[in-house]
Structure 1
Amino acid sequence: MPPIAFTADEFAGLAAGHGSAAALGKLAAGQLVRRRLLLWGVVREARAAALPVRDAVDLLLRVQARSAGTVADMLAHPQVDAWAADFPRTRALGYLHALAAAAAIRAGVPFTIDVPAAAGAVTLPGLGALAGAGDPVRLAFDGERLTADGSPAPLRARRSIDLGDVGGPVVAIEDVDQYRAQYRLPVAEPGAGHDRFAALWRAAWPLLATDHPAHARAVRLLVRSFVPLAAPAGGAEHSASSGRAVGAIALALPRTAESMALLVLHETQHLKLSSLLHLVDLDQRSQALYHAPWRADPRPFRGLLQGTYAHLGVTDFWRGRSAVQFAYWHGQTSRAAATLDGARELTAAGARFVAGMRATLDGWAGEPVPEAARRVAGVCIQVSGARWRLAHRAVGSDGLNRLTDAWAAGSAVPPGAAGTERAGAGADARILAALRNDRPALPAGDRALLAGDARRAAESYAATINSGTGGDDDWAGLAVALGAPDRPELPRDLHAALAATGPAPDPRDVVRWCAGGR
């Protein structure tokens, strides 16, 4: 088939955050071409290694002859990516045989084939799994009935959520495929929370279809399955996607339909960009790491690009829904897009893509936001930036000696004083609580800062620090309350050094001095 190429308008539409039906169709077509190539690569490598692939290939060719659409649908199964990518290392031929068997069952093509098991089970992609099977297990299908080693096959069928009655898509709950764990988060046990997942998705879909039809279109065309994740500690809401399994969205059971709609929109943005990156070079690899305002860890350029595109969708989701959330994510995403703009890693196409994102964000700058919401969002943005510096910067011993000497002498902060990079991990749980307006979950200092009472906030943060229970969150809040959010690592580290050798000074005095106004 001819190469997949985007018109200028199609590319611009994707860059702006959505994408026309034609552009999204090309993304899906690109994944199919990619998986055909991956499958051919597996077969070629297996043949070169004299591995037994003939039965599986012959069966796939028989299915292709009867129902090419069935083979294409099987190749749209997201986990095919991960299996094929890992094949040079694992030589896991069983999945190829199972893929051929599943395609034949779908197409009604009779067969008999031996399928190697994995950990005592055989996955039939898109259909389910057979547990307690022999190794290999002989599968036979007469066009109607499936047997395993001569007995009725005990298939644990994969469930799907069919929203066709409300104009929605059919999305599978993928909790049996052996290659579903493609994320740095543990997957849930099979069968966990099926009914709740289905109910939440049924309630979430109208939020997307009605309020965000362009995003709903992308979900309909690109999302094939949900992979349930194990419930995280503390009830946090987690989701993930992977370029190794485009079409699947992994998520822990959300609390509300609104949360599910947001998580699915967010991850669909990642799927769109992952699909585009398989077709168009937007960036060149580098070793540089960047601050992503939504992550606790420094990110490579590709990660920042992916995150910015995803949060373009998040910002869009909150437009007209929550002024505080919209203002916060608009500010943070705009900062990230500005970091991307002009970066040396961008190709010419990548520069056009980032320009498209920035144009959308700039167009939202005039959205009406109440002053109170704008102020709360601004405080949260400042605290987030200060918290990042506190997590990832520290004053070295030489710099700290100069600071303590200057403090003791009553002189100014030495020129160029700043922390240097260090490994660390930030946490914005308190900021997220503030954005949700979950004030009871916040300490007194945060509540005062969000209410606009900087003096009372500073008093509270200082008291917490003086009690010995304060941490980076309190230093970040104190720095913002006193109007000095730029280098919060200086007062934190200086205060610790002074407290280690004598009476601890008032943290507020240390912040003011480091800001140039002792």
Structure 2
Amino acid sequence: MADVSFSARTLTLALSGTAGNNHAPLRIEQPLSKPSVHWQVPQVLPLDLADGPRDVVLHDMGPYRMQGKAWGRPDSPPAPGREKVTRQWTEIMERAWPLLARVDPSGAEDVSACLRSIEPLPPSRPFRWHSATTEDGMGGMAASQPTGAEPAAAAQFAAVLTHEAQHSKLSALLHMYSLHVADVAYRFYVPWRDDPRPLRGVLHGVYAFTGVARFWRGHLLNGCSLEEKGLAAFEFALRRRQLLVVLPKLLQEQELTELGRRLVERLLDTVREWQDEPVRTDCLRWAELAVDDHSLSWHAHHMVPDPDLVGDLVQEWGDGTTHTAAPEQAWRYPAPRLVADPVARHLDARAVLMRMRLMPATAAQVRATDTPGELVSGARQADVHLLDGRLQRAEALYTAEIRAHSNAGPAPGAAWSGLARTLRGRQEHACAVRALGSCPELVRHVYASIKLKSASAPNPVTVADWLGRTVAVP
């Protein structure tokens, strides 16, 4: 508790119960717009917008921030160079907000109503602009600090503003109404996260990304520059497809309340209205690849097959039983268990590479590097070959990575999902494609166990082909 008094243009704060208290009172003198020994002035972004001037606080001081350890202590003073940082934030806001108002007026209204402060986060790599809100912090958001070098920066940040405004709106709704019964289990797959999510998190995700899809649709249909058309088409097609994966399944959840079900129904109706809108063929194809690729990688990491079945299959492989099993002799595949894998990271790496390929400046960077992982965390040279259509080269690199993987656990799911993509459409590997597409976790775990027991690592495609013939996959 503190005692607060104001006199002679001075605000005084003192801890209550001063007996034995060694803390001197804190005195802050007016005007509050000037710093003093006890007072640092909050930085404000003075925005001159089409709908009138606005002030947004740059929340870079104080203990109540969302920033991670990499960005200093929560109670640390603002970093040097505040003026430059403020200029960067002002510039990106004055570019993104009018764009949002032009292409997505309802989204701009939401941002105008919700946004009061921005907390800077560390700058991010291209197309991985991080942002966050808290359920109890209405009006505040955190976002990656702009550098001025981000491709399609205004459009990207407009999407970030919409995303976080959607979270703020849903948080307010959840404080007033129940959209689901208590359910804290992390049991859901969503195609925009590396980890399993709880029901509340899924609701937040579908609500936020419906707003993001609406923005990119508006940007695509309302005077998008030629340079950004490919990116806008990809983003709209990607978010539309992701939502159509999640929303129908979410609607079946018994834990939703009547109001929660109505919310999901309305979101699904909205996205289905966009379902048949034409999108550039190459962007649509990449969006479909990105969603399918993420799903396969995620399931390879987080789903665990029955260990007894894995052991029996490894034994059969060791016995040399590699003939084609008759349907009645095929191993039945019981449903795998969900066990969160903490090493699953950057499952969207190929999607980020797709974005980079769709913008001229970053496309040149991808073409010029032999180490794409330095541009995009989690990316491989094999991914570049895959997106370029050099499937045999990509297959060789994915195969080599899986065979060379020396950690205690199985090789990364993204390597297996990339391998699966290189084999599609090849009749001689139809069984491998079926196994990798239906139960990637089984292929991943069986291969890792075979490799542990073998003098040399077998060809992953050979093992996947064998499993596709030996197991009655779903």
TM-score past 0.5 threshold: yes
Once the 2 structures are TM-superposed, how far is the Cα of residue 353 of structure 1 from its aligned partner?
0.6
Aligned: 1:420 with 2:337: yes
> Residue by residue, what CA displacement relative to the aligned partner does 1:360-383 show, whole Å, maximum 9, x if unpaired?
110110111122222211111111
Once the 2 structures are TM-superposed, how far is the Cα of residue 418 of structure 1 from its aligned partner?
5.7
Structure-to-structure mapping, 1:327-338, within 5 angstroms: 327-338=237-248
Q: Is residue 118–residue 141 contact of structure 2 (8 Å, CA) maintained in 1?
A: yes
Secondary structure at the aligned position of 2:437 is classed as coil
Return the letter of the residue paired with 2:210.
L
Partners of 1:420 and 1:217 lie apart in 2 by 44
Aligned: 1:447 with 2:392: no
Secondary structure at the aligned position of 1:244 is classed as coil
Partners of 1:179 and 1:511 lie apart in 2 by 51
2:112 maps to which residue?
A: 220
Return the letter of the residue paired with 1:471.
P
Q: Is residue 290–residue 299 contact of structure 1 (8 Å, CA) maintained in 2?
A: yes
Q: Is residue 183–residue 240 contact of structure 1 (8 Å, CA) maintained in 2?
A: no
| CA distance 1:225–1:509, change in 2 (3 Å) | same
1:274 maps to which residue?
A: 171
2:350 maps to which residue?
A: 431
Aligned: 1:296 with 2:194: yes
Aligned: 1:514 with 2:467: yes
Once the 2 structures are TM-superposed, how far is the Cα of residue 429 of structure 1 from its aligned partner?
4.2
Return the letter of the residue paired with 1:498.
I
Secondary structure at the aligned position of 1:410 is classed as coil
Aligned: 1:190 with 2:109: no
Q: Is residue 418–residue 487 contact of structure 1 (8 Å, CA) maintained in 2?
A: no
Return the letter of the residue paired with 1:486.
S
Partners of 2:311 and 2:170 lie apart in 1 by 48
> Residue by residue, what CA displacement relative to the aligned partner does 1:452-510 show, whole Å, maximum 9, x if unpaired?
56555433322332344763221111123333322112222222222222232211122
| CA distance 1:489–1:233, change in 2 (3 Å) | same
Query: Which range moves more in the overlay, 372-381 or 461-470?
Result: 461-470
Secondary structure at the aligned position of 1:485 is classed as helix
> Residue by residue, what CA displacement relative to the aligned partner does 1:381-420 show, whole Å, maximum 9, x if unpaired?
1110111012212335322112113333225452115643
Q: 1:387 aligns with which of 272, 280, 297?
A: 297
Aligned: 1:343 with 2:260: no
Q: 2:321 aligns with which of 409, 416, 419?
A: 409
Aligned: 1:378 with 2:319: no
Return the letter of the residue paired with 2:242.
Q
Once the 2 structures are TM-superposed, how far is the Cα of residue 270 of structure 1 from its aligned partner?
0.4
Secondary structure at the aligned position of 2:191 is classed as coil
Partners of 2:36 and 2:438 lie apart in 1 by 68
Q: 1:505 aligns with which of 433, 458, 461?
A: 458
1:495 maps to which residue?
A: 447
Aligned: 1:486 with 2:423: no
Partners of 1:265 and 1:276 lie apart in 2 by 17
Return the letter of the residue paired with 1:292.
V
Q: 1:175 aligns with which of 36, 57, 60?
A: 60
> Residue by residue, what CA displacement relative to the aligned partner does 1:36-92 show, whole Å, maximum 9, x if unpaired?
xxxxxxxxxxxxxxxxxxxxxxxxxxxxxxxxxxxxxxxxxxxxxxxxxxxxxxxxx
Q: Cα RMSD over matched residues?
A: 3.3
Q: Return 5+ residue gaps in structure 2 as ranges.
A: 16-21, 221-228, 358-365, 373-378, 424-432
| CA distance 1:417–1:477, change in 2 (3 Å) | farther
Query: Which range moves more in the overlay, 245-254 or 471-480?
Result: 471-480
Partners of 2:167 and 2:452 lie apart in 1 by 47
> Residue by residue, what CA displacement relative to the aligned partner does 1:426-445 show, whole Å, maximum 9, x if unpaired?
22242232331445435343
Q: Return 5+ residue gaps in structure 1 as ranges.
A: 1-92, 102-108, 118-132
Partners of 2:126 and 2:237 lie apart in 1 by 27
Partners of 2:448 and 2:412 lie apart in 1 by 11
Partners of 2:205 and 2:25 lie apart in 1 by 43
Q: 2:99 aligns with which of 207, 213, 217?
A: 207
1:326 maps to which residue?
A: 236
TM-score, normalising length: structure 1 = 0.68
2:207 maps to which residue?
A: 309
| CA distance 1:287–1:249, change in 2 (3 Å) | closer
Percent identity for Structure 1 against Structure 2: 29
Return the letter of the residue paired with 2:58.
I
Once the 2 structures are TM-superposed, how far is the Cα of residue 162 of structure 1 from its aligned partner?
2.4
Q: Is residue 140–residue 147 contact of structure 1 (8 Å, CA) maintained in 2?
A: no
Q: Is residue 28–residue 38 contact of structure 2 (8 Å, CA) maintained in 1?
A: no
Q: Is residue 133–residue 140 contact of structure 2 (8 Å, CA) maintained in 1?
A: yes
Q: Is residue 308–residue 337 contact of structure 1 (8 Å, CA) maintained in 2?
A: yes
2:43 maps to which residue?
A: 159
| CA distance 1:164–1:194, change in 2 (3 Å) | closer
Query: Which range moves more in the overlay, 451-460 or 372-381?
Result: 451-460
Once the 2 structures are TM-superposed, how far is the Cα of residue 359 of structure 1 from its aligned partner?
0.6
Query: Which range moves more in the overlay, 290-299 or 498-507?
Result: 498-507
Structure-to-structure mapping, 1:353-364, within 5 angstroms: 353-364=263-274
Once the 2 structures are TM-superposed, how far is the Cα of residue 165 of structure 1 from its aligned partner?
4.6
Partners of 1:236 and 1:328 lie apart in 2 by 15
| CA distance 1:233–1:481, change in 2 (3 Å) | closer
Return the letter of the residue paired with 1:136.
P
Secondary structure at the aligned position of 2:56 is classed as strand
Partners of 1:233 and 1:361 lie apart in 2 by 29
2:25 maps to which residue?
A: 136
Partners of 2:350 and 2:414 lie apart in 1 by 10
Return the letter of the residue paired with 1:478.
L
Return the letter of the residue paired with 1:317.
F
Secondary structure at the aligned position of 2:40 is classed as strand
Once the 2 structures are TM-superposed, how far is the Cα of residue 339 of structure 1 from its aligned partner?
2.5
Q: Is residue 292–residue 299 contact of structure 1 (8 Å, CA) maintained in 2?
A: yes
Partners of 1:194 and 1:146 lie apart in 2 by 19
Secondary structure at the aligned position of 1:156 is classed as coil
Partners of 1:235 and 1:210 lie apart in 2 by 22
2:158 maps to which residue?
A: 261
2:121 maps to which residue?
A: 229
Once the 2 structures are TM-superposed, how far is the Cα of residue 204 of structure 1 from its aligned partner?
1.6
Partners of 2:313 and 2:243 lie apart in 1 by 35
Q: Is residue 189–residue 230 contact of structure 1 (8 Å, CA) maintained in 2?
A: no
Partners of 1:517 and 1:378 lie apart in 2 by 29
Partners of 1:368 and 1:297 lie apart in 2 by 31
| CA distance 1:468–1:346, change in 2 (3 Å) | closer
Return the letter of the residue paired with 1:460.
L
2:19 maps to which residue?
A: none
Once the 2 structures are TM-superposed, how far is the Cα of residue 189 of structure 1 from its aligned partner?
5.2
